[in-house]
């Protein structure tokens, strides 16, 4: 099964962290003496780590802090592209951290859905086969314009009288 213990991740400046956490749990078996590799896919509005445009909005990490990269497994004559994480021997669950990419792009709240994939090694609890997380953007900025000198006049050659505008960007930014 999978669930989120912290379903909201936030883009944060360097040195700060705010991750979402998925917990993948095995249950029903009485012998946990062997590790269990669990496969999953992600979907949603956030750009995945394997987005071909290079616009990844997050990266996935295992309980040991290592990046989880896309892999594949062979199932019923087809390769399935997905991610995998291993629940260690003598342990019932493991975490998958969703770490947002702190970019300078103003974005709406984005979603990530983690969906477990069935294999011959385990059954999936259909009532707990997927979990959702959101990524909140920290680029809450706006742009304004103000006329600091709103009057411009035609003047004789050699003199000027221009109107002047100030354009200001304000709010949280990643300059």
Percent of residues, the chain, with pLDDT higher than 70: 94
Q: Which residue has the higher pLDDT, 113 or 72?
A: 113
Give me the pLDDT at residue 174, please.
55
Tell me what pLDDT residue 150 has. Answer: 84
Name 39's Cβ contacts closer than 8 Å, sequence gap at least 6.
Answer: 73, 80, 82, 83, 84, 116, 117, 119
From 99, 92, 113, 110, select the one nearest 40 (Cα to Cα). Answer: 113
Reported as a single tens digit per residue, the pLDDT across 123-162 is 999 999 999 999 988 776 678 898 888 888 888 888 888 8
The tens digit of pLDDT for each residue in 63-102 reads 999 999 988 888 777 888 899 999 999 999 999 999 998 8
3-state secondary structure of 27: coil
């Amino acid at each position: 099964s999978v669930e989120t213990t912290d379903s909201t991740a936030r883009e944060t400046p360097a040195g700060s962290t705010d991750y979402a956490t998925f917990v993948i749990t095995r249950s029903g078996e009485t012998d946990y003496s062997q590790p269990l590799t669990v496969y999953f896919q992600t979907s949603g509005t956030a750009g995945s780590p394997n987005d071909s445009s290079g616009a990844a909005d997050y990266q996935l990490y295992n309980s040991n802090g290592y990046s989880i990269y896309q892999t594949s497994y062979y199932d019923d004559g087809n390769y399935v592209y997905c991610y995998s994480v291993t629940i260690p021997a003598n342990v019932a669950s493991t975490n998958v951290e969703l770490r947002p990419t702190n970019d300078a792009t103003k974005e709406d709240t984005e979603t990530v859905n983690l969906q477990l994939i069935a294999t011959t090694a385990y059954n999936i609890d259909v009532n707990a086969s997927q979990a959702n997380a959101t990524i909140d953007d920290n680029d809450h900025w706006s742009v304004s314009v103000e006329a600091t000198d709103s009057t411009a006049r035609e003047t004789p050659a050699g003199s000027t009288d221009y109107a002047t505008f100030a354009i200001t960007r304000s709010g949280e930014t990643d300059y």
